[in-house]
Every structure is written in C-alpha cells, then in structure tokens.
Structure 1
Amino acid sequence: MNEMTRLAATAIPSLSLQGVGFAHRGQTLLHPVDLRLEGCRRILLMGPNGAGKSLLMRLAHGLLMPTQGQIRWDGRRPRQSMVFQRPVLLKRTALANLTYALAVNGVPRMRRKPLAREALERFGLAALEKRPARVLSGGEQQRLALARAWLTEPEMLFLDEPTSALDPAAIKAVEDAVLDFHARGTRILMSTHDLYQARRLADDVVFLCGGRVLEHSSATDFFTAPATPQAQAFIRGELVW
C-alpha cells in the first residue's frame, strides 16, 4: 500500500455495532453483538452454516434494520458496495451492467464506456462485454459484480461468501480481486466457512456460532489459539452447533 492509499485508508470511518440483535417472528436469529471495525483491514466472518454470518453482514451494510441496538459510523457513512453469493445482475450485457452502475453514480455519459471497458479488462472479462450477464458462468458473474463494485470506488466492501460453489481457478480470481481492493485502501468484510481461504486472506476473524459472536481476534490468534470450544471444534473440522 503506497503512502497516498495508506492515508486514504486511515480516513475510512469506523463502524460500531452496539448491542445489535435481530429477531423475526418471535425467533432470535442474532443475539446482541458488540463489534467495532476500523482501519483498512480484511475482516472475515467465519462460522458454520446458519451461524448468522450473512445476517450480520446485511445489518452492517444497512440492508436490514436491527430489531435492537444501534449501528453507527464515526463521523460519516463511507462509500460502500456489496457482492452477494449469487450476484444480482441486470438483464443486459456485461458492459451495460457496468455503464448502468456508472450512470447511477452520476458519471458523465462520455466516460462510462471507457471506464467500464477498463474494469472489464482488469477483471479478465474484456472478451465478454457483449454477452448477456445472466448467461455468464458463476465465476464470470462474480468477477463482473466485483468489476461493478470496483467502479464505485468503495471505502468498504461487503462480500457474502463470494466464492461458494466456484471452481479453484474462479476462486483464485475472486481472491486476487479482494487483495486488489484492499491494496487500493478498501476495508473488506467477507463471510466464508472456508478455513484455507480465511488463512490466505484474513487480517482479523469474527467467529459466529448459533447466532452469537463468540470471538473477534487477529487471524493469527484465532488459528493458533482459538478461545472458545466452538471455534476449536470448527478449526478441527468437527460439526459445530
């Protein structure tokens, strides 16, 4: 990270979740969470299926409102983008998906196609610009969603299990993109249940189980000395409830 990028990253507002919980139809899906995310970090949400990772991410991003507690940004709300496990793409070409995103963000018409083509090139999709986005492979769709996010220059990027069901080559392409975002000064909040992926990418780990945040620590501490029996079992590959 160069000096300019480093200085920009330090200006990303911190995100605080204060007693944030979520219930639906009388069932508590996320128990109260106290969590603070700051700096230009790669933070991975980990835990078994149904642990509450996606729910916590949607709450942090603002797609859902908590049923208790508060979510606060220090000073201002930063530029944000989110990429889902199954990308939400328009019934348009790959190029048109990007030019539309630029239009929504107020980019002048004459600049849209050059910027969109630059992003397609960066993410290895230049040859597919005229192809309908919804007929692309799963890995190509994820790269297109990441290219769209790239164009918005997010200060914080939310990634909800973006490599689920992808082949190894597509996983590597997505992980390389995550590292590129981070090198540009973007804070990453990404959910995964893949231990190897977390070891490759994480600066910090937030571990959830049963709708509760049980640990928030550096990746080194989490993998070498997990503090809870649930995390220890998860790392061993044992079933965790």
Structure 2
Amino acid sequence: MSDARATTGLVAHGLHLARAGRPVLRDAGIVLPPGRVTALVAPSGAGKSTLLRCLVRLVEPDAGEIRLDGRPVTELEATALRRRVGLVAQHPAMLPGTVADNVRHGLPDLADEAVGEALRAAGLTEGFAGRPAAALSGGEQARVGLARALSRRPEILLLDEPTAALDEAAAGRIGTTLRTLAADGIGICLSTHDLALADAVADTRATLPGPA
C-alpha cells in the first residue's frame, strides 16, 4: 500500500444534493482514514444513506468533491471505485442459492478458501457457506452482506445502519467485527442511530445538518 493511500483514505467535502427542489444534502462532508472507525450520526432525514451512496457514485451530488487517496472519484470507473470502497446496505439483499453463492456474487471464480476467509472476517464460520441464504436470521444475513463486501478486499467499508433490527448481542458481535477489520487497516464508516454502539466502536463521530 502506498504512503499516500495510508494517510488519506476517502475524503468528501461541500456535497450538495437536491431532489424535486428540496435539499437532501447541504454542505455535507466526511473524512474516512484507513484503520479507523467513523460513526455517522445524524437525525432521520438528514441524508446519511444518501451520503454513503454518493461516496460510491450510486448517486451523483449536484456540487462538492469526493477524493480517494487524493484522486477525484469521478476519474475512476464506477466498478473500480466500488471494489475499493464497499457499501453494505441496511438490509442486504440475499440472492437465490447458498451463502457461498451470495459471497461470490460478481466474482464467480472466487475460490472456496477466499469465501471462507470472507465469512470468518465477517464473524461467521466456514460452515455457513453451504446454507441457503434465505433461511438465515437477520443478523446472519447482515454478516453475509458484510462478507460479500469483504470478498472484494475493500480499502474503505461503508455500512448503512448495520445493527438495525438486531438484538444487543448480535449488534455487539458486529461491533467487534468492525474493530477487528479496522485493526487490519480498513477504513470504516457506519451510519447509525445507536449512540451506545457509536461510543463503543467508533474512533470518531461525523454528523450532518438536520433536514431543512
């Protein structure tokens, strides 16, 4: 990993976005350095999910700039950006088939060993690989979504409300997993309403202005 990558990570500033004349993001920004967990805490409707989607160019802001290791993300192909910056949705969609099929989605040649490594990194055992994905609990599906993102070996990982609808024990396990991933050098951003989780897991907090 280059020195520049090790010191910059993903940086966004001055992001504005309006829909139907209504501001969704107003001068939004965030700094996500490698190896640290940032909790994105803001009121409902402030645009947390939209910000995360902007960071991987699923939504294009009207103004502002996003840089990865000092380079504007608009200079990167979207697929290349999303390999380097993974986004895990609040409710990851489980595709038909096994857990391994889900982890391999988009990477059909991913070896069994790599699938097992991604599952272990997400806090699941390799024994989950052959299970039907649709039969998993909500917490297990959240971890499969995380494993799917980790199989691409991202430098930055974005998680949208990763503990929503999980019980306290399952949320705690997700938090422990995120700390382990950060210790391995991955920059992490979790959007959350859970202030206790943010205090327990994050190195720093970021926020957004409330809805206009």
Query: Under TM normalisation by the shorter chain, which class is it?
Result: 0.7 to 0.9
Question: Hey, what's the Cα distance between the residues in 1 that align with 2:186 and 2:64?
Answer: 26
Deviations 1:130-153 (A, max 9, x none): 222122110000111112222221
Question: Hey, what's the Cα distance between the residues in 2 that align with 1:130 and 1:39?
Answer: 33
Q: 1:148 aligns to what SS in structure 2?
A: helix
Shift of 1:119: 3.1
Instruction: Report which stretch shifted further, 145-154 or 9-18.
Output: 9-18
Question: Hey, what's the Cα distance between the residues in 1 that align with 2:32 and 2:130?
Answer: 39
Question: Hey, what's the Cα distance between the residues in 2 that align with 1:159 and 1:45?
Answer: 10
The answer (yes or no) to whether the contact 1:13–1:76 under 8 Å persists in 2 is no
State the structure with bigger RCO (CA 8 A, min sep 6), 1 or 2: 2
Per the alignment, residue 51 of structure 1 pairs with 46
The two structures have a TM-score, normalised by structure 2, of 0.83
Provide structure 2 residue ranges, at least 5 long, that are not aligned to the other structure: 74-80
Shift of 1:25: 0.8
Per the alignment, do residues 116 and 12 of structure 1 end up closer, same or farther by CA in structure 2, a change over 3 Å counting? farther
Question: Hey, what's the Cα distance between the residues in 2 that align with 1:114 and 1:37?
Answer: 29
Q: 2:71 is aligned with what amino acid?
A: G
Cα RMSD for the two superposed structures: 2.5
Per the alignment, do residues 156 and 118 of structure 1 end up closer, same or farther by CA in structure 2, a change over 3 Å counting? closer
Q: 1:54 is aligned with what amino acid?
A: S
Provide structure 1 residue ranges, at least 5 long, that are not aligned to the other structure: 104-108, 213-241
1:40 correspondence with 2:35? yes
Per the alignment, residue 143 of structure 2 pairs with 143
The answer (yes or no) to whether the contact 1:161–1:192 under 8 Å persists in 2 is yes
Q: Report the identity percentage.
A: 37
Per the alignment, residue 119 of structure 1 pairs with 118
2:20 to 25, 34, 39: 25
Q: 1:129 aligns to what SS in structure 2?
A: helix
Per the alignment, residue 208 of structure 1 pairs with 208
The answer (yes or no) to whether the contact 2:34–2:187 under 8 Å persists in 1 is yes
Kindly report which structure 2 residues correspond to 1:96-107, keeping only aligned pairs within 5 A, or say none.
Answer: 96-103=101-108
For these two proteins, the number of residue pairs brought into alignment is: 201
Question: Hey, what's the Cα distance between the residues in 1 that align with 2:34 and 2:180?
Answer: 16
Per the alignment, residue 238 of structure 1 pairs with none
The two structures have a TM-score, normalised by structure 1, of 0.74
The answer (yes or no) to whether the contact 1:18–1:33 under 8 Å persists in 2 is yes
Per the alignment, residue 71 of structure 2 pairs with 75
Question: Hey, what's the Cα distance between the residues in 2 that align with 1:102 and 1:34?
Answer: 32
Question: Hey, what's the Cα distance between the residues in 2 that align with 1:76 and 1:134?
Answer: 38
Question: Hey, what's the Cα distance between the residues in 1 that align with 2:138 and 2:4?
Answer: 31
Q: 2:104 aligns to what SS in structure 1?
A: helix
Shift of 1:67: 1.5
Q: 2:45 is aligned with what amino acid?
A: G
Question: Hey, what's the Cα distance between the residues in 1 that align with 2:209 and 2:166?
Answer: 24
1:60 correspondence with 2:60? no
Deviations 1:171-192 (A, max 9, x none): 1221121112101100011101
Per the alignment, do residues 194 and 135 of structure 1 end up closer, same or farther by CA in structure 2, a change over 3 Å counting? same
Question: Hey, what's the Cα distance between the residues in 2 that align with 1:180 and 1:76?
Answer: 29
Q: 1:140 is aligned with what amino acid?
A: E
Instruction: Report which stretch shifted further, 60-69 or 157-166.
Output: 60-69
